[in-house]
Chain A
Amino acid sequence: MIRLEKVSYSYPDGTPALENLNLVIKKGEFIGIIGKNGSGKSTLALQLSGLLKPQAGRVMIRGMDTRDPSKLPEIRKFVGIVFQNPETQFVGRTVEEDLAFGPENLCFSPMEIRKCVDMALAETGLEKYRHRSPKTLSGGQGQCSALAGVLAMRPECLIFDEVTSMLDPESGISVMEIIKKLHRKGKTIVYITHNLEELHDADRIIVMEKGKVMLEGEPKSIFSDISLKTLGFDLPSLIELAETLKTHGVIIPWEKTASPQSFAEEICQLFLKT
């Protein structure tokens, strides 16, 4: 569905951000991308959405080359992107107007625009805020509104660049719930984060380092890869505990490391069995 072929990109000052990157994203996948600051994650996100064009190699989005300007409107409809700070993404005076901006630009009919806006409001639970100014929303609601603005264009594929990193845990979890629901409905999700705990249920994780893909695999295998620690990542504590327990002969299945409750449940099962 999205394919990067030997993509390279350097910033204007010459710092390489992506080097010879190959990557295929399949329809309906939930891909997590992790990496240090400056490892190329955000540049990758911009490449995947056609907002940046490769200097070498090519990015194909459903058969369309992002370097071909005539394909851009079609690409815009297909891929949506949400960034870290919602305030930088608002354009409308009210939430509703803000959501209508995207579909209007894509030349949807007024009827379609109304439908798309209503759907996006429903999907993010923002119906009651439709007449509010987006700037008066809380951090979590603001991020939902930014997400709704993208959903209103009915994209197939959604890219999230550290969307929960500035939110309190509660709001972060509710934004994450919405994203997971969209994934279950069949949307393709590319999710960039520093918080590995959010990627427990991802289909695949890609670890970026210096503009290259360093590791790639299911969360289960990525998180048990010791090289992750040497690369400077913090493993989720419960996964780290499960890994340490394994070396002492206590096996906690992967699914049980998802929450403190399921972890404790498993320990009880193991030790209290009669």
Chain B
Amino acid sequence: MPIILENVSFSYSKKTPLETSALREINLRIEKGEFVGILGEKGAGKSTLTKLFNGIFKPETGIVRVDGLDPSSREAKRKIGMVFQQAADQLFCKTVYEEIAFGPLNFGYSKKETEQRVYEAIEAVSLDQTELSRDPFSLSGGEMQRVALASALALRPDYLVLDEPITGLDPIGKNDILKTLNRIKEKGTAVITVTHNLKGFFPLLEKIVLLREGRIAFQGSRESYLKKGFEPLPPIASMMKELGVRGLPVNLTVFTVEDALEEIMKLKSILGTDNNENK
């Protein structure tokens, strides 16, 4: 069963002079086990969209369903884990353990069951057991992000929704979180993330949803996104597109350094021979 949005629109400050339309006619389907990137410029409606998934916002028109359920229902909330950009904003307990245990206890799981889930969650995000007694606010940015992630995972969600989960982290912290997210996805949880960090996320994304001024400009596989020349792009893909624009026969689906090297060497052997003869 998927997350389904049918003809969804949403405005802020409805029926006030400040009313602003954030999303228009959104039709979207996200299956379990997918790794989805929600892309678009600031103000395109990315964060608003994620808040419709778990019922924080209710659509003005249209329908949102999570496995057939109303997203604001308790049952649906258990299925969706949310992690926001600034992890510190969603931490509130005195110890890391209490923080991660909060969700399961709140949903009425026994102490024993909760404990098991806490240990499972910290393993998934590679947090050490010794961290459990620490004050979450004494942690580094990357560690806080992992605690927020673990709290979401403790409910064993089917969908993990993230808003810019790696901004502000150092390169090691970033790669760590990316690996963790990929592992979570491999285990069958859908990972849906808003991101501007294409360099980091692009290799992981299977599906891309591109928002432009509140509407879906593109929705489909990474390959078709690249082939059709949509933007934003990670730097290498952007460079390949520029080569294409200049009339060179290039493979637009290339976005890694290794593949770009191969492509450029191919170009060299096709085009560069004249050049060498002239010399």
Check if A267 sits within 8 Å of B236, measured CB to CB. Answer: no
CB-CB under 8 A from A237, the residues of chain B are: 199, 234-236, 257
CB distance from A16 to the nearest CB of B (A): 16
Number of A-B contacts (CB under 8 A): 103
Task: Bits for A160-192, please: 1 = Cβ < 8 Å to B, else 0.
Answer: 001001101111000000000000000000000
Per the 8 Å Cβ criterion, residues 100-121 of A in contact with B are none
Check if B248 sits within 8 Å of A268, measured CB to CB. Answer: yes
CB distance from B142 to the nearest CB of A (A): 6
Assuming the contacts A260-B242, A270-B272, asked whether A238 and B172 have C-beta atoms less than 8 A apart, the reply is no
CB-CB under 8 A from B238, the residues of chain A are: 260
Check if B168 sits within 8 Å of A238, measured CB to CB. Answer: no
CB-CB under 8 A from A233, the residues of chain B are: 171
Check if A37 sits within 8 Å of B235, measured CB to CB. Answer: no
CB distance from A230 to the nearest CB of B (A): 12
A57: CB under 8 A from chain B?
no
CB-CB under 8 A from A166, the residues of chain B are: 85-86, 167-168
B19: CB under 8 A from chain A?
no
Give the CA-CA distance A140 to B238 in the complex, in Å.
Answer: 24
Instruction: Select from chain A the residue with minimum beta-carbon distance to B239.
Output: A260
Instruction: Select from chain A the residue with minimum beta-carbon distance to B238.
Output: A260
B221: CB under 8 A from chain A?
no
Give the CA-CA distance A274 to B172 in the complex, in Å.
Answer: 45
CB distance from B260 to the nearest CB of A (A): 5
A55: CB under 8 A from chain B?
no
Check if A165 sits within 8 Å of B167, measured CB to CB. Answer: yes
Tell which of A58-66, A124-132, A239-247 binds the partner: A239-247
The one of A38, A168, A171, A232 that contacts B140, using a Cβ cutoff of 8 Å: A38
Assuming the contacts A270-B272, A270-B275, A273-B278, asked whether A245 and B264 have C-beta atoms less than 8 A apart, the reply is yes
The one of A139, A241, A261, A271 that contacts B248, using a Cβ cutoff of 8 Å: A271
Instruction: Select from chain B the residue with minimum beta-carbon distance to A36.
Output: B170
Assuming the contacts A168-B196, A271-B267, asked whether A232 and B172 have C-beta atoms less than 8 A apart, the reply is yes
Give the CA-CA distance A238 to B238 in the complex, in Å.
Answer: 10
Give the CA-CA distance A170 to B242 in the complex, in Å.
Answer: 20
B42: CB under 8 A from chain A?
yes
CB distance from A37 to the nearest CB of B (A): 4
CB distance from A154 to the nearest CB of B (A): 30
CB distance from A7 to the nearest CB of B (A): 22
Instruction: Select from chain B the residue with minimum beta-carbon distance to A234.
Output: B171
Which residue, of A140, A236, A241, A245, has the highest number of chain B Cβ atoms within 10 A? Answer: A241
CB-CB under 8 A from A245, the residues of chain B are: 261, 264
B173: CB under 8 A from chain A?
yes
CB-CB under 8 A from A250, the residues of chain B are: 264-265, 268
CB-CB under 8 A from B128, the residues of chain A are: none
A67: CB under 8 A from chain B?
no
Interface of A is mostly: helix
Give the CA-CA distance A261 to B235 in the complex, in Å.
Answer: 10
Check if A260 sits within 8 Å of B168, measured CB to CB. Answer: no
Check if A168 sits within 8 Å of B41, measured CB to CB. Answer: yes
CB distance from A227 to the nearest CB of B (A): 14
Give the CA-CA distance A234 to B42 in the complex, in Å.
Answer: 25
CB-CB under 8 A from A265, the residues of chain B are: 242, 246
Assuming the contacts A37-B140, A237-B234, A271-B267, asked whether A264 and B199 have C-beta atoms less than 8 A apart, the reply is no
CB-CB under 8 A from A194, the residues of chain B are: 169-171
CB-CB under 8 A from B68, the residues of chain A are: none
CB distance from B140 to the nearest CB of A (A): 5
Check if A264 sits within 8 Å of B239, measured CB to CB. Answer: yes
Check if B42 sits within 8 Å of A244, measured CB to CB. Answer: no
Give the CA-CA distance A166 to B42 in the complex, in Å.
Answer: 12
CB distance from B117 to the nearest CB of A (A): 28
Check if A244 sits within 8 Å of B196, measured CB to CB. Answer: no
CB-CB under 8 A from A274, the residues of chain B are: 274, 278
CB-CB under 8 A from A9, the residues of chain B are: none
The one of A168, A271, A272 that contacts B42, using a Cβ cutoff of 8 Å: A168
Assuming the contacts A194-B171, A245-B261, asked whether A238 and B235 have C-beta atoms less than 8 A apart, the reply is yes
Instruction: Select from chain A the residue with minimum beta-carbon distance to B140.
Output: A37
Q: Which 7 A-B pairs have the closest CB atoms?
A: A264-B242, A260-B239, A260-B238, A271-B271, A168-B42, A237-B235, A37-B170
Question: What is A's interface to B at a CB cutoff of 8 Å?
Answer: 36-38, 84, 138-140, 162, 165-166, 168-171, 194, 197, 232-234, 236-238, 240-241, 244-245, 248, 250, 260-261, 263-265, 267-268, 270-274
Question: What is B's interface to A at a CB cutoff of 8 Å?
Answer: 41-42, 85-86, 140-142, 167-175, 196, 199, 232, 234-236, 238-239, 241-243, 245-246, 248, 257, 260-261, 264-265, 267-268, 271-272, 274-275, 278
Residue pairs across A and B with Cβ atoms less than 8 A apart, 8 shown, are A166-B86, A168-B42, A197-B235, A241-B261, A248-B265, A250-B265, A264-B242, A273-B275
